[in-house]
Amino acid sequence: MLPLSDSERQAVLDRPVIQAKQPSRTYWARRDYFDPALDFLDYQNNTGSRSKIRRWSSLRLGSQQPLRWKGTALRFWLEQGEQVISRPDPPKHLSPEYQAGEIRFHWRPRWRGQSFPDDALEVGYLGHRTRSETVTQLKQGGVTLTAAPGTALFRSSARDRGWLLAVRHRSTLSCDWVLYFGAEYRDMTIESRTLSHDRLVTALLAAQQIPQSTPWKEKQVVLNLSADWSIRPTWQIAFDLEHFHINRHDYLPRKGFVDYDHNMTLDGYLFWSPNHSWRFFVQGHASQHFVLGDKPFLYNRRNNHTFRHPFGLLSFGVQYQG
């Protein structure tokens, strides 16, 4: 078997990296999974919340497509995810689903005939949205309310959307080691809606300080440090370290609860390449504060306390470079 070239060995995925050569046509898929048996950071026992995540799974499909202009490409992905949540009181079971997507224009600058192959600029758009969740039973203060057949006590949904701007730099230390540095700015709008046509239910929800009814903004600055280490011609180890700093505007805080505006995440990968085109991988993800910054639509004043503790999940997937 011939050794893989530097660009062929590289895992693109949705990582903040720059290929050694021109962007190649790439397709990839990743499955994320979490359940209590795989809770290696003991998130469930640390939150203090009565709501427990029994399962969280998602499928992300992505691609990189070179454009006709040298050094340019489109990178995009789509994601479908679902949580299974249990509670001791009604509603005892919730299964929120969400969809997400992102598209980026990747450009390696050229100026007066001079190229900069180790630098890149990216501009893009991203967003998440949940399916409307219907609740037909609610227990509050010892009183259990049940909706009439065919109706709901309330419905809830959430979404975020925004644009991003990123700069990247690649530093080749040796034929086996490559480092990547980057910074990214995201301007996000978040909406979380809880609607009921029943005055009593509305009053009970207000007493719980449900998410505000008006949108709010998140200005995110994300710093990236990544590395690729080729330990053998067909095996590679990689990691991505990210730091999130978040400023919120038009956000109404909840009395007596702390909001979080910093997060650190670490992703580690083990890749195996049987040939020049295919790459299989397993991935571990760890986050200092749940999914803070990565999934803005899940954060609001009602559940901000669940973002206090570390969270992790495992993933596996495949990439094809044609």
Q: How confident is the model at residue 49 (pLDDT cuts 50, 70, 90)?
A: confident
Q: How high is the mean pLDDT of the chain?
A: 91
**pLDDT, tens digit, 9 for 90 and up, residues 83-132:** 999 988 888 889 999 999 999 999 998 776 666 789 999 999 999 999 99
- Domain boundaries, position 20: 6-321
Say what the pTM is: 0.92
| pLDDT mean over 224-230 | 96
Total domains in the fold of the chain: 1
Of residues 228 and 9, more confidence is placed in 228
Read off φ and ψ for residue 260, nearest 5 degrees. Answer: -115, 135
CB distance 52 to 86 below 8 Å: yes
Q: Is residue 135 part of a domain?
A: yes
pLDDT of residue 4: 39
- Is the pLDDT assigned to residue 148 strictly greater than 80? yes
CATH code of the domain in which 98 resides: 2.40.128.130
Residue 272 lies in a domain: yes
| In-domain check, residue 103 | yes
In a domain, 55, yes or no: yes
| Residue at 125 is within a domain | yes
The predicted-structure confidence for 54-87, as pLDDT tens digits, reads as follows 999 999 999 999 998 888 999 999 999 999 999 8
139 in a structural domain: yes
Q: Is residue 79 included in any domain, yes or no?
A: yes
- Kindly tell me the burial class for residue 68, based on how many C-beta atoms sit within 10 Å of its own C-beta (0-12, 13-18, 19 or more): exposed
Please calculate the CA angle 47-49-51 and round it to the nearest 5 degrees: 120
Strand partners, 318: 29, 280
Q: Name the residue with tokens 């701007």.
A: 165
What are the tens digits of pLDDT across the range 169-191? 999 999 899 999 999 999 999 99
In a domain, 1, yes or no: no
What average pLDDT score do residues 125-143 get? 90
Task: Quote the CA–CA distance of 236 and 256 in Å, as a whole number.
Answer: 47
148-164 mean pLDDT: 93
What mean pLDDT is predicted for residues 208-234? 93
pLDDT greater at residue 3 or residue 284: 284
> pLDDT by residue (tens digit) across 3-16?
434 444 567 899 99
Backbone angles phi, psi at 258, to 5 degrees: -90, 135
